[in-house]
Amino acid sequence: MTIRKRSEDWEHQTLSCHAAFADQTRGRGREEPECDIRTAFQRDRDRILHCNSFRRLMHKTQVFICPEGDHYRTRLTHTLEVSQIARTIARALRLNEDLTEAIAMGHDLGHTPFGHAGEKGLDEISPNGYKHYMQSVRVVEHLEHGGAGLNLTFEVRNGIQCHSHGEDAVTQEGRIVRFADKTAYMNHDIEDAVRAQIITEEELPFHVKCTLGRSKSERISSLVDSIVRNSGEDIVMGAPELAAYKELREFMFAQVYKSPIVRDEEDKATELVKRLYEYFARHADKLPTEYKLIVDKEGADRAICDYISGMSDRFAISLYDELFIPRSWTKQQ
């Protein structure tokens, strides 16, 4: 018996009947030999962790664009926080932690530079629109490994696609990640906004503080506890905590996400992304070789969106500077 088989047997012995079992996956896009050590979902997690798109999350915006300070979140730190919250919930409910972690690690791979500001830019200018959760699936299916993709299991791809909008994931593990994503971003965005002196902890709605707590740790614990206590046949949050979360979300949109400090920089980022798109729409021949191949197969719009969405904040700024900012003329020697 291989180590993988023992792990698969352990899942059946210990996990809930609502869990997704690795040996019952709906499979991969391409068949391949099983690993003797890792289950299918463990392999998916490792493939995501080691791919190029995951590393680039380190230099992509969460909320504040190019913040000066080491403690503001990036897409990478956000992803790690989502993963930890999701695993905590999965373990408490005796669901599959490996599947949960794989989905959480991959859920934002398709995010543009400058976070939702960049996504807005591509969505407005692309004839086909742009959604980061769909691009995350495209990354793992087509863009990584030189166009071969990561060949992930159906359950992981489905969880990534459904983490933000639209239909619920087919697995409870995927539904956990949707809740974990909301829990993580709302609470760490509060912390970052306080650090940026946009809001203070005292300004948070009184009802929210009474229901969820006054600190980040208390709020996350309250939301996680509510999900664990109320979930069974499905993943749900208790009514009081859900109402408090919605009130907190409304507060954050009014006071932080739409604040002049954030919006002014987001508008710049949105326009920067649009300018890059317009440039490559006129000069598709300037795309890197791998994206020229996409132009031939799927059209210029698809290739340009793939190229821009994969950029880090600093690369996008550097490229914009190279393409649009005049250089001082110097006499050639």
Q: Where are the domains of the chain?
A: 35-318
- What pTM does this model have? 0.95
Report pLDDT for 26: 98
Torsion angle of the four alpha carbons 189, 191, 192, 196, in this order, in degrees rounded to the nearest 10: 130
pLDDT for residue 8: 98
- Length of the chain, in residues: 333
Q: What is the pLDDT of residue 156?
A: 98
What is the pLDDT, as a whole number, of residue 64? 64
pLDDT at residue 110 in the model: 96
Question: How far, in Å, CA of 134 to CA of 119, rounded?
Answer: 12
Rounded CA separation 188/315 (Å): 25
Residue labelled with tokens 């992930």: 152
Q: How far apart are CA 8 and CA 219, in angstroms?
A: 35
DSSP annotation of 28 reads B
Cα dihedral 45, 223, 16, 168 sign: negative
pLDDT at position 67: 57
Distance, CA of 18 to chain centre: 25
Q: What is the pLDDT of residue 61?
A: 78
**What single-letter DSSP state applies at residue 93?**
T
Q: Is residue 150 within 8 Å of 140, Cβ to Cβ?
A: yes
Pairwise CA distance, residues 237 & 177, whole Å: 13
What pLDDT, on the 0 to 100 scale, is given for residue 132?
Answer: 96
Render each residue's pLDDT in the chain as its tens digit; 333 residues.
899 999 999 999 999 999 999 999 999 999 999 999 999 999 999 999 999 999 999 998 777 665 555 557 789 999 999 999 999 999 999 999 999 999 999 999 999 999 999 999 999 999 999 999 999 999 999 999 999 999 999 999 999 999 998 899 999 999 999 999 999 999 999 998 998 899 999 999 999 999 999 999 999 999 999 999 999 999 999 999 999 999 999 999 999 988 888 888 899 999 999 999 999 999 999 999 999 999 999 999 999 999 999 999 999 999 999 999 998 776 665
pLDDT of residue 291: 97
Q: Which of 131, 68, 130 is nearest to 277 (CA)?
A: 130
C-alpha to C-alpha distance for 198 and 261, rounded to whole angstroms: 8
Q: Which CATH class is domain 35-318?
A: mainly alpha
What lies within 8 Å, CB to CB, of 19 at 6+ separation is 11, 94, 95, 96, 172, 173
